[in-house]
Amino acid sequence: MADLTPTQRALYAFKRNKLAVGGLIFIALSVVIAILGYLVMPDGTPQANDMILQISLKKPGSSFTMLRIRKSNAVDTVNIFQKLWSGQPDFYTNVPVTAWRIIKDSIYVDEYIGAEDKPEHKAYNIFEVVSGKKAEYNKYDEVTINWYTGKQTHLPLSKALYDKFADEIKENQIIKKTYILGTDLYGRDLLSRLILGTRISLSVGLMAVIISLITGVVIGASAGYYGGKVDAALSWLMNILWSLPALLLVIALSFALGKGLWQIFIAVGLSMWVEVARLVRGQVMGLKQVEYIEAARAMGFNNYRIITRHILPNITGPILVLASSNFASAILLEAGLSFLGFGAQPPMPTWGGMIREHYGYIIMDLAYLALAPGLAIMLMVYAFNLVTVGLRDAFDIKSQSTRL
């Protein structure tokens, strides 16, 4: 192993840590799911917010027959990139039914309104179910179908016309939906909201780590390298912020910046840079007096080049370890903020927000509504902690020499 570079030795040591590799694989799969998002979710509507109140609080594996009634307003079909980013608005209104039959120009349904209530008998015009607009009849046995696009179609009433629209309803607008993890308080698909919550948590963690790294590396490197009054002033600032509880600091920043996802990125990131700055400051102070840095000064290199080209590359390992740890902390902070109501606002699904909505059901037989997002938080944080331990051991030269 003597011919390997330090980076190769660290990578080799990390690969030998099976738990750390498992954590990294779990994170990678979560990232793929988060990126695909709406493409793999059962409910691909924006924010997975398709509410069907009649089927709220249904247990995992529940299935329902749905009559899909075309919406009266025009809904644009988005391209693949728009769907990937923000979802596809539903073209239909879903009505859960227990039985249905079509007679001439009407579909008669028993609409599901609850497990303990009798179904409600309703009738819908088949032309309106398909077109999304009210159909008009005249005395000549003709029907004017007003389409959601604004166009009109005048057709003579006949059995063939009835059969055509009936077949369209049977093939495309009577469907069976299965809710793998059940539905939440508002009748939304719990699995879809969990998947989309993965995207929110990972994006908050990523942006918070980027902001904290940029801020912390700049301030910590400046304090450690220049020393003197610069170090005293920046260290005083770091000590003040270090004494404040992270959650209280994030809440204060959230109040100042307002509620929203981007505000959470900034608030969480600005609350975590102090740890990075303290680490970088200590590392820079230990390296700035070594021989190769003195040689760089003797060759006339400016301070910026010495810091960026000769010091920071040599402390990448400890920074990566702290970044991985901060990623887990950011996920916990975001979940805590959402639980308290200061995070991303409804209907945007966040794991902390889902726990907040359903924690009252923990003492009931619906505890999984709060336990599912709680388990997701636990697994994600545990995976990052495993990676953190793996990186720490991989960049520990003494432990590497012992193992290798």
Q: Could you read off the pLDDT of 113-140 as tens digits, one per residue? A: 988 889 999 999 999 999 999 999 998 8
Q: Which two tokens stand for residue 212?
A: 């904290």
pLDDT for the residue numbered 130: 95
Q: Stretch 300-323: mean pLDDT, rounded?
A: 92
pLDDT at 275 over 90: yes
175 and 213 within one domain: no
pLDDT at 397 over 50: no
135 and 194 within one domain: no
Q: How far is CA 46 from CA 87, 95, 180, 347, in A?
A: 5, 19, 19, 9
* 46 within a domain of the structure (yes/no): no
Query: Within 13 Å and on the Cβ side, how many CA atoms surround 111?
Result: 16
25 and 108 within one domain: no
pLDDT at 235 over 60: yes
Whole-number Å distance between alpha carbons of 32 and 1: 34
pLDDT at 66 over 70: yes
Strand partners, 106: 103, 125
- pLDDT, greater one: 128 or 400: 128
254 and 167 within one domain: no
118 and 201 within one domain: no
pTM tops 0.85: yes
Pick from 243, 322, 313, 321: nearest CA to 284: 313
> What is the span of the domain harbouring residue 72?
61-179
- % of the chain at pLDDT higher than 90: 75
* 184 within a domain of the structure (yes/no): no
Pick from 343, 369, 336: nearest CA to 354: 369
Q: How confident is the model at residue 2 (pLDDT cuts 50, 70, 90)?
A: low
Q: Stretch 244-265: mean pLDDT, rounded?
A: 85
Whole-number Å distance between alpha carbons of 62 and 368: 14
State the total domains in the chain: 2
pLDDT for the residue numbered 1: 52
pLDDT at 19 over 90: yes
Q: Stretch 265-281: mean pLDDT, rounded?
A: 93
- pLDDT, greater one: 328 or 6: 328
Q: Coil, strand, or helix at residue 101?
A: strand
Name the residue type at position 181.
Answer: L
Residue ending a domain, among 179, 198, 225, is 179
366 and 243 within one domain: yes
- The beta strand positions in 104-197, using DSSP E, are 106-111, 120-125, 135-137, 142-146, 152-156, 174-179
Q: Stretch 85-89: mean pLDDT, rounded?
A: 94
Annotate 122-157 with b (16+ C-beta within 10 A) or e (fewer).
Answer: eebbbbbbbbbbebeeeeeeebebbbbeeeeeeeee
Q: Could you read off the pLDDT of 183-222 as tens digits, one per residue? A: 999 999 999 999 999 999 999 999 999 999 999 999 999 9
* 185 within a domain of the structure (yes/no): no
275 and 390 within one domain: yes
Are 251 and 334 in contact, with CB atoms under 8 Å apart? no
pLDDT at 400 over 60: no
Residue ending a domain, among 144, 179, 214, is 179
pLDDT for the residue numbered 146: 92
pLDDT for the residue numbered 123: 96
pLDDT at 398 over 70: no
